[in-house]
Structure 1
Amino acid sequence: MKELEAEFLGRYFWDGCLTVKNNKAQFSITGDLKEEKEFYKRVVVPEFNELFNLSLKLREYKSNGVCGLYYSSKNFARELQETYNLKPGKKLNVNLPLLKTKNEKIAFLRGIFDTDGSIYFCKSYFKTKKPTFCNSFHYKPKIKIALISEKIITFIYNIFLELDFSPRMYSPRKQKKQENIIYALVLDNDKDVKKWITEIGFKNIKHKTKVKVWEKYGFCPPKTTIKDRYMILQGVLDPLTFYSWKQNDL
C-alpha cells in the first residue's frame, strides 16, 4: 500500500462517507468551511486527485458551513469497495486496513487525526499563593481522538503501541441517552507529544497553527480560530488578549 493510500484511508475513516443506494453511489469527504477550507484546498483535494487520477474541485456549502469533495460514480464506489474493502454506510463495524510498514501506519494515523483528532492545551490547576506561568497559561499540549467505533479506536491504540507511544484510553461514555457511545484516547505526556510532532505531524493547518503558536509563545490560548492564530503568528494579535488577568499579576 502506498503511504498516500494509507493517509487517504485515515481521512476517510471519519470524515469520509460512501453511500450506495437505489443503483446510485456517492463518495464524499467533508470538513468545516471556516476552519478547514485551506487544508482541504491545499492538501485533501490535490492528494485525492493525485491518488485516483481525477480532477475534482473543492465544493463549498455556506448554508451549513461545510466544504469538501463529492464524487458520484458507481464505478468509483465499486473501486473503493474492491480495492480497500470499504463498507457503505455508518462506520460502527468497519473493515480495517492492512498496514504492513511503519510509514503506512504513520500515514494512516496522520490522516485520521488530521480530520477527526485534535490538539489542545491545558493549564495546571495546582493552587498557589500567586499566579504562575503554569496555572495561568494553557501550556501543556494533549492530542486526542474520540470516535463512535470501538473497533477503530482499538485499532489506533494498538498502532500507537507498535510505534512505541503510550496512549491512554478513556472510559466509554455517552453524552446523551440517545447518542452513540464515545470511545476516546489521548497522548498526554511530553514524550509522546514531542514524538508525534517530530515523527508524524499534522497536515491540517487548523492543528499546525496551534502547534506554531505554542512553539513561539510556550502556550496556546483556548477557543482561538485559525484566523486568530494566523494573526498571533504575524504579530498582529497579542495572545494575552485571550486572558482576563494583567501581565504584571505574575
Structure 2
Amino acid sequence: MKMPIMNDEYAELLGIMTGDGCLSHTGKARYIYIAGHKQDDWEYHHNITKVLFQNLFSKEINIKERKNENTLFIKFSDKVIFNELSKFIPVGKKYDSLEIPNMILKDASFFFAYVRGLVDTDGCIIFSKQHRKTPYYPRIELTSKSKPFLISILSELKKHEFYGSVSHKGKSCYRLELPGFKNLKKYQELIGFSNPTKRKKSAPSQI
C-alpha cells in the first residue's frame, strides 16, 4: 500500500482521529477506532470519514452502532494504516503527549483542515443569551483533557487573527473558546464545517 502524502484530506483525517479517535493494540492486533453520536454524526462519518479512508488508504470501513446507546463507532485492524497514523497520533492514552503534528504546521491549509476535523468531532457551537431573552451570541468550543494542546491550537489560530481563551471545563477537562460573530465568520470563511449538524447550526438563519 502506498502511503499518502500530507494534504488537506490527510490533515482533516488526523484532526478527526485526534478528536474522537484512538490507536490501540492487543497482542499483535493494531486497532483504529473512532466514536460518534448515532444521530448527530451518522451522516458526517458516512460521507466524510469513510470517504477519507477510501481516498487516502483505499480502505473500505464500516460504521456500526451500539445497541441501547446513542453511539456509533468505526473499528478495524490494519497494521499498515496503524503504523502510518501513529507517526502523528500517540498510541493508547493520547492526552499526555498530544501535540499538533509538525507536518500540519507547514501549511496554513493543512492546519485549517486539521482544526476542521477536530471541531467537527470534539467541538461544538453554542449560543448564549448575553442579557437577552433568547440565545443569540455564538461561541465555538473545542474540548480536550490536554491544556497544552488547546493552548497550541489557540496560538496558531491567533496567527490568523482569531481570538479566544482556554479554561477549565469540569475537573479534568479544558475548553478552547472562540467567542463572537467575528470569530464565527472567520471560521466559516477559512476553516468551515464538514459535519452537517454543526454546519446547519452555524448557518446565518440559525443566528
Q: Structure 1 length as normaliser, TM-score?
A: 0.74
Contact 1:117 1:143 in 2 (8 A): yes
CA distance in 2, matches of 1:71, 1:149: 26
**Which amino acid in 1 is paired with 2:116?**
R
Give the match's secondary structure for 2:69. coil
Structure 1 residue 173: Cα displacement:
5.1
Task: Tell me the residue number matched to 1:27.
Answer: 32
Structure 1 residue 190: Cα displacement:
2.2
Q: Post-superposition, which runs of at least 4 consecutive aligned residues in structure 1 deviate over 6 A?
A: none
After superposition, the CA RMSD in angstroms is 1.7
Task: Tell me the residue number matched to 2:101.
Answer: 97
What is the 5 A alignment of 1:149-168?
149-168=146-165
Richer in strand (by share):
2
Task: Tell me the residue number matched to 1:137.
Answer: 134
Kindly tell me: are residues 28 and 41 of structure 1, through their superposed partners in 2, closer, same or farther at Cα, counting changes over 3 Å?
Answer: same
Structure 1 residue 140: Cα displacement:
1.1
CA distance in 2, matches of 1:71, 1:58: 10
CA distance in 1, matches of 2:152, 2:53: 24
Give the match's secondary structure for 2:116. helix
Task: Tell me the residue number matched to 2:3.
Answer: none
Whether 1:146 and 2:150 are equivalent positions in the alignment is no
**Which amino acid in 1 is paired with 2:178?**
L
Within the candidate set 121, 128, 150, 1:115 is matched to: 121
**Which amino acid in 2 is paired with 1:187?**
L
Kindly tell me: are residues 192 and 173 of structure 1, through their superposed partners in 2, closer, same or farther at Cα, counting changes over 3 Å?
Answer: closer
Structure 1 residue 75: Cα displacement:
2.9
**Which amino acid in 1 is paired with 2:100?**
L
Structure 1 residue 95: Cα displacement:
4.9
CA distance in 1, matches of 2:14, 2:181: 28
CA distance in 2, matches of 1:149, 1:157: 13
Give the match's secondary structure for 1:141. strand
Q: What is the percentage of aligned positions where both structures have the same residue? A: 27
Kindly tell me: are residues 68 and 45 of structure 1, through their superposed partners in 2, closer, same or farther at Cα, counting changes over 3 Å?
Answer: farther
Within the candidate set 76, 101, 104, 1:71 is matched to: 76
Give the match's secondary structure for 1:19. strand
Within the candidate set 9, 13, 16, 2:18 is matched to: 13
Within the candidate set 188, 201, 207, 1:210 is matched to: 201
**Which amino acid in 2 is paired with 1:48?**
F
Q: Which stretch shifts more, 96-105 or 108-117?
A: 96-105
Deviations, residues 115-161 of structure 1 (Å, cap 9, x unaligned)? 00110111122xxxxxxxxx122111110112101232122111111
Contact 2:126 2:138 in 1 (8 A): yes
What is the 5 A alignment of 1:174-213?
174-175=170-171, 181-212=172-203
Unaligned runs of 5+ in 2: 1-5
Task: Tell me the residue number matched to 2:91.
Answer: 88
Give the match's secondary structure for 1:185. strand
Unaligned runs of 5+ in 1: 126-134, 176-180, 220-250
Deviations, residues 168-200 of structure 1 (Å, cap 9, x unaligned)? 222x3543xxxxx22211111321111111221
Kindly tell me: are residues 36 and 85 of structure 1, through their superposed partners in 2, closer, same or farther at Cα, counting changes over 3 Å?
Answer: closer
Aligned length: 199
Give the match's secondary structure for 1:34. coil
Structure 1 residue 96: Cα displacement:
3.2
